[in-house]
Amino acid sequence: ASRTASNQHCFEYKSTSDRASYQHYQQQHTCSTTTIMDVDDSTVEVNLISKEGDSFPVTLNVAKMSELVKSMMDEEDGDDDDDTTKEIPLPNVKANVLQKVLEFCKHHMTEPMTEIEKPLKSSLMADVVQKWYADFVDIEQVLLFELILAANYMDIKPLLDLTCATVASMIKGKTPEEIRQTFNIQNDFSPEEEAQVREENKWCEDA
């Protein structure tokens, strides 16, 4: 009983000033906790390092659109407790490609890309996604394919979906000859071999 009485005294205030002091402490503690909780991935920066060694500072929430970067950051968080800016090497991504990747990720944070319907409803990307994204992939083929490789390597699904859909839109509704011209592919078949392949796969064209 005496212990219970003692415990009750712990929550009693001897004067009004004691109560005011405790309330002031609670307010300070609450403010401090709130400040800590307010620190999120949008205020923390990480440096992504390209193949050439160029550094690209970017907020953590943008960087974590890459599942590869996200997993690497989680591993570093467990090994390192200092406050220095983390550096994530991306040896398979060239600087100009990484810059383009980050442009996509930053925009995606403010305007998420609409889900791409499959099969594609149009060969025009402007009919498939928002204008910004259609303009984003209106680029040279070399850079487009480098973006596909980077998106696959960094594991950024929306970017991989967009770039692959762009290639699909370039193929949609075209004959084999037109596809070869579009992608500058040399035909290794002789006319006789090509005729044979067409005959064997005629059911595809009929479908």
Residue 200: the pLDDT is 67
Q: Which of the pair, 17 or 123, is modelled with greater confidence? A: 123
C-alpha span between 183 and 170 (Å, rounded): 9
Pairing label, strands 86-89, 55-59: unpaired
pLDDT band at 180 (very low <50, low <70, confident <90, very high): confident
Distance (Å, whole) CA 32 – CA 185: 63
Digit-coded pLDDT (tens) for 115-167: 999 889 899 999 999 999 999 999 999 999 999 999 999 999 999 999 999 99
Instruction: Say what percent of the chain tops pLDDT 90.
Output: 52
Closest by CA position to 171, among listed 182, 158, 159: 182
**What pLDDT score was predicted for residue 96?**
97
Least confident of 21-35, 80-94, 99-113, 118-132: 21-35
Q: What is the mean pLDDT of the chain?
A: 80
Question: Binning pLDDT at 50, 70 and 90, where does residue 73 land?
Answer: confident
Average pLDDT over residues 46-68: 96
Query: Residues 63, 66, 71, 76: what is their CA dihedral angle, to the nearest 10 degrees?
Result: -20
Most trustworthy range by pLDDT among 1-15, 28-42, 185-199? 185-199
pTM of the prediction? 0.69
Phi-psi region of 184 (alpha: psi -120 to 50; beta: other; left: phi over 0): left
Q: How far is the C-alpha of 110 from the C-alpha of 104, rounded, in Å? A: 10
Amino acid sitting at position 152: N
Q: State residue 25's pLDDT score.
A: 42
Is the pLDDT confidence value at 6 over 70?
no
User: Is the pLDDT confidence value at 111 over 50?
Assistant: yes
The mean pLDDT of 1-26, rounded to a whole number, is 46
Q: Please check the confidence at residue 24 and state whether its pLDDT lies above 80.
A: no
Among residues 121, 119, 101, 111, which one has the least CA distance to residue 163? 101
